Amino acid sequence: MNISSIKKDYLYRLAKQGKRPDGRATSEYRPITIERGVVNMAEGSAMVSIGNTTVLAGIKMDLGEPYPDTPNKGALSTAAELIPLASPDFESGPPRENAIELARVVDRGIRESGTINLEELCIEPGEKVWVVFIDIHILDYDGNLFDACSLAASAALLDAQIPNERFEMGENRPLPVQDPPISCTFVKYNGTIVVDPSLEEDEVAEARYTVAVDKNGDIRAMQKGLSGSFTVDEIRQSIATARQMAPTIRKILEG
């Protein structure tokens, strides 16, 4: 029996008693802190901590061509870098499946919520638009990257200015952003479902479920991951929990 199966056993036994390794209740979120404007060179930035997990999102904007099928809209590109700074398990090099899934889920939440008014980022239809790059660096990995990255991306967008001055196009003005999504992630292990997993819980998780809700409590994006399964009732219950939590988290984000 190796260390990892001892740890698993320990978490399983705790779970049977409805307990989590850090003493939280199954539907209890860790403290969230958000600091905006931490990177001077970025158009916008935010450092977000959920417990000991810390991520930094930065926004950069550049001029580019619109996509052929959306000539009147700016473009959005989201990337997450699991830099080896944050965990001994992250490797340098091109993004791997985990980083790609993470970035795409964050991107979908923001895109489907209409968070950025992309029409306002069109300069010359079919020719020239603003491209918004959201780059997220994981600095300290202690579980639940999906929610931390989603929050950091939203907070950085709320902080961002369109860099008209750098492109000699007049004065900077705020990026048109509204109603970012609130993402809530759950993992399941040995039959228990917990919100906002810690690192240890991420490590033993059999299934993961993320749902992004808007300010009306409507659903904008979801993603089930890992090889475990959920029942329909478990999904419904998780959505309900997420809708309960979202207003509190939204207040921290927008406050």
Partner 1 sequence: MELIKDGKRLDGRKPDELRPIKIEAGPLHRADGSCYLEWGGNKIIAAVYGPKEAIPRHIQNPTRAVINAKYNMASFSVGDRKRPGPDRRSREISKITSEALENVILTEMFPRAMIDVNIEVLDADAGTRCAGITAAAVALADAGIPMEDIPVACAAGKVGDTVVLDLMGEEDQEGQADVPLAIAPRTENILLLQMDGHLTVEEFDRALELAMNGCQQIATMQREALMKKYQSFEED
Which residues form the interface with partner 1 (CB under 8 A)? 38-43, 45, 52, 54, 56, 58-62, 68, 79, 81, 83-88, 92-94, 97-98, 100-101, 103-104, 108, 111-112, 133, 135, 137, 139-142, 166, 199, 209, 214, 217-232, 235-236, 239, 243
Shortest distance in whole angstroms from residue 117 CB to partner 1: 16
Task: List the one residue out of 87, 108, 116 whose CA is nearest residue 179.
Answer: 116
Shortest distance in whole angstroms from residue 31 CB to partner 1: 14
Residue 78 or 249 having the CB closest to partner 1: 78
Residue 15 or 82 having the CB closest to partner 1: 82
Query: Distance between CA atoms of 201 and 169, rounded to whole angstroms?
Result: 49
What are the backbone angles phi and psi of residue 58, rounded to the nearest 5°? -125, 145
Shortest distance in whole angstroms from residue 37 CB to partner 1: 11
Query: Distance between CA atoms of 111 and 242, rounded to whole angstroms?
Result: 19
What are the backbone angles phi and psi of residue 147, rounded to the nearest 5°? -70, -40
What are the backbone angles phi and psi of residue 73, rounded to the nearest 5°? -130, 145
Residue 146 or 209 having the CB closest to partner 1: 209
Three-state DSSP class for residue 1: coil
Residue 17 or 236 having the CB closest to partner 1: 236
